[in-house]
């Protein structure tokens, strides 16, 4: 799954399923300032992402997660660990 596919799914979750306010279409949109999510809602988002992508995310990562691109990169690495590893080696 590509970064853009993951971004599209997570954006859909935020805007349509969680009814988050989106003031930016950017992948760097802030969960707190652009989507107006509380820490509890960010945690909820992470639970939905784990279920949707069949991945396990690190506990406590919500404290260091500030934008969509960070989450997309983490999910991409969990889904495609070999591809990410190979990409980093080249």
- Walk me through the domains of the chain, giving residue ranges and CATH numbers: 3-89 (1.10.1200.10)
Whether residue 34 contacts residue 23, with contact meaning beta carbons closer than 8 Å, is answered with yes
| Predicted structure pTM score | 0.81
pLDDT given for residue 82 in this prediction: 55
pLDDT given for residue 16 in this prediction: 83
Round to whole Å and give the CA distance between 68 and 86.
23
Q: What is the pLDDT along the chain (90 residues), one digit of tens a residue?
A: 899 999 999 988 988 888 766 656 677 888 888 888 889 999 999 999 999 999 999 988 888 899 999 999 999 999 987 554 444 544
């Amino acid at each position: 799954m590509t970064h853009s596919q993951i971004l599209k799914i997570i954006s859909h979750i935020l805007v349509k399923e969680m009814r988050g306010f989106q003031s930016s279409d950017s992948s760097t949109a802030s969960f707190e300032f652009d989507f107006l999510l509380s820490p509890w809602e960010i945690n909820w988002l992470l639970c939905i992402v784990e279920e949707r992508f069949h991945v396990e995310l690190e506990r406590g990562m919500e404290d260091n997660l500030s934008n969509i691109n960070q989450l997309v990169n983490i999910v991409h690495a969990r889904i495609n660990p070999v591809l990410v590893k190979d990409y980093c080696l080249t």
